[in-house]
Structure 1
Amino acid sequence: MAVLAAVAAHFGRDVQRALPKVEGILDDARSAGADLVVLPDAALGGYLSDLGDPDRTDLPEPLALDGPELDRVRRAAGAMVVCIGLAEAVPGEPSLRWNTAVCCSAQRVWGVHRKVHRPLNESRVYAAGDRFTAFDTPVGRIGMLTSYDKTFPEAARALADDGAVVLACLGAWPASTTDRAAHLPQDRQSRLFDLYDLARAAENQVVVVSSNQTGVQGRLRFLGQAKVVGPGGDVLARTGVKGGLAVAHVDVAHEVGRARRRLHHLAERVPAAYARRS
């Protein structure tokens, strides 16, 4: 049995202010018995202030994966496996960053994912990653998706094909900027955020641990709604639009095995039928 925790919280530009906040959240997660904690995308340094026209004078500070900031997170994690988002420098490209997710504990860095899919004008600031790779951890084989990555079924499927039984989805997912709803739960992007979490879990028969930013950064208003979703697409725990911790006790191997016992989506595919014909 593993205790899985998804975080909804606000993180801005100030990395030195974010670090003690991360430590406090990890202390709370440890008190809840968490084995895996998924923090939001851009928890260290914040996300962009505007997707339509990113302000290049207000960008997240690029951090090194072997730098003191991540080292502090790892020490705070202890035995817990922690996924966290940050901006990473791109060698030879001083004007660009990778939007990077790191999975780590005090023991080691278990995996790194650089966001592949970039919405709107995010490409002016972030370089694209080029792969989806799962990796083994003390809580099972994990794959990571960063925010918009989970819009694409192929991304989650690539991780499931690589043996991932848990998808850590790190979000900095904002409300609609063109059709604002008076209440965040009724926002169009709120519906899509939830839909993708449930669909990616059910179609791959895996557990999804989905975090998200809250609050406001520039013109963007973030949705929260962190959650843990079972392999049948059932929500096991969730937060609201404000900060919080969604915690679920899950026997991952048992639940994934049970979901796949009669109907095994990965095994029952018919690839030849999906091939494009001229």
Structure 2
Amino acid sequence: MFETTTDAVHPRFTKKPAYPLSGFKIALVQLAVGPDKSKNVAQAVKEIHLAKEKGAQLVALPECFNSPYGTQFFKEYAEEVPSGSTCHALSKAAAEAGVCVIGGTLPERCGEKLYNTCTVWDNTGKLLARHRKMHLFDIDIPNKITFKESDVLSAGDQITTFEYQGIKIGLGICYDLRFPEMARLMADQGCSLLVYPGAFNMTTGPQHWELLGRARAVDQQLWVALAAPARDPAAHYVSWGHSTLIDPWGAVRAHLTDQPDTLLADIDLSTVDEVRSQIPVRVQRRTDIYDTIQKS
């Protein structure tokens, strides 16, 4: 658990974490995902170990890293959490590599329901968090893309944050990135980093992927990591790729193209306090007139 200190700028400021670490190295693994589930998982495990060898302390995988993305695939590839084979592989990899693993997403089966779920494993292989995608991807852009996750998936109903080595991290999945209220609640809970495994498509990706990531970073004055699968032009659903790391100033610190690769970068946590003290919008909000609250 991290200790907190009262902010000296204004008593209305939410208490902020006293970080035990000034920074850490993150790896965003942009995997090529195919129809072979075991091959997808094996490649993810390999990349987790390679990231550790390069100094990563936190490794994030992309959305639907163990299966093709599509409503027709979710039921076939679904498994229970944490008892499924993919979860066992992630837990073992995290423990053997000695890193925290944000396991992208996988189709989760829970009773009669299916969810798009992100699991998080600490460096001993313990399950730290599970986030079920809250906002389902139901869109219709004529002559470009029509998709309706709600035909198959159920929506999660929880804001998800976790702590690793004293650092508070928030989770969202792909379409969750479009909802600033969700990011606000995670920031209010003390997060200095938000991680979004996502697979924006070839229509919305070029327009909004980086833009939304930068918006959330600037809005909440924190780091944002976007972890995407690599592009496969032959796939039923084609991912934009472009995994990206954005700092609290809204600057892109590192990004990939559309090919399989790993983004490895340092996160300086002191930048969070720097931005929030220099541009103190968090204490200037007119909470006497408006506010963002968590209802349940």
1:149-199 CA-to-partner distances (Å, cap 9, x unmatched) read 0011111111111111111110122112xxxxxxxxxxx532200101111
What is the number of equivalent residue pairs in this alignment? 255
DSSP 3-state at the match of 1:202: helix
Matched, 1:4 2:23: no
What aligned pairs does 1:123-142 form with structure 2 within 5 A after superposition? 123-138=150-165, 140-142=167-169
Cα 1:64–1:14 change in 2 (3 A) is: farther
Distance 1:161 1:13 in 2: 39
The answer as to whether partners of 2:80 and 2:108 remain within 8 angstroms in 1 is: yes
Please list every run of at least 4 consecutive aligned residues from structure 1 whose deviation after the TM superposition is greater than 6 angstroms: none
Distance 1:173 1:219 in 2: 13
Q: Give the aligned partner of residue 98 of structure 2.
A: 79
Q: Give the aligned partner of residue 221 of structure 2.
A: 205
1:81-120 CA-to-partner distances (Å, cap 9, x unmatched) read 11111111122x1xx4110001113421111110011122
What aligned pairs does 1:227-246 form with structure 2 within 5 A after superposition? 227-246=244-263
Instruction: Give the RMSD, CA atoms, in angstroms.
Output: 1.9
The answer as to whether partners of 1:42 and 1:86 remain within 8 angstroms in 2 is: yes
Match of 1:103 among 88, 100, 120: 120
1:57-92 CA-to-partner distances (Å, cap 9, x unmatched) read 97432343133321221221232111111111122x
The answer as to whether partners of 1:7 and 1:246 remain within 8 angstroms in 2 is: yes
The answer as to whether partners of 1:174 and 1:221 remain within 8 angstroms in 2 is: yes
Q: Which runs of 5+ in 1 are unaligned?
A: 49-53, 177-187
Distance 2:133 2:57 in 1: 24
Distance 1:208 1:235 in 2: 9
DSSP 3-state at the match of 1:158: helix
The answer as to whether partners of 1:142 and 1:165 remain within 8 angstroms in 2 is: yes
Matched, 1:145 2:160: no
What aligned pairs does 1:57-72 form with structure 2 within 5 A after superposition? 59-72=76-89
Shift of 1:245: 1.3
Shift of 1:7: 2.0
Distance 2:272 2:93 in 1: 30
TM-score (norm 1): 0.85
The answer as to whether partners of 2:31 and 2:44 remain within 8 angstroms in 1 is: no
Q: Give the aligned partner of residue 191 of structure 2.
A: 164
Q: Report percent identity of matched pairs.
A: 25
Distance 2:168 2:182 in 1: 16
Cα 1:88–1:56 change in 2 (3 A) is: closer
Distance 1:43 1:244 in 2: 14
Distance 1:35 1:130 in 2: 29
One-letter amino acid of the counterpart of residue 220, structure 1: Y
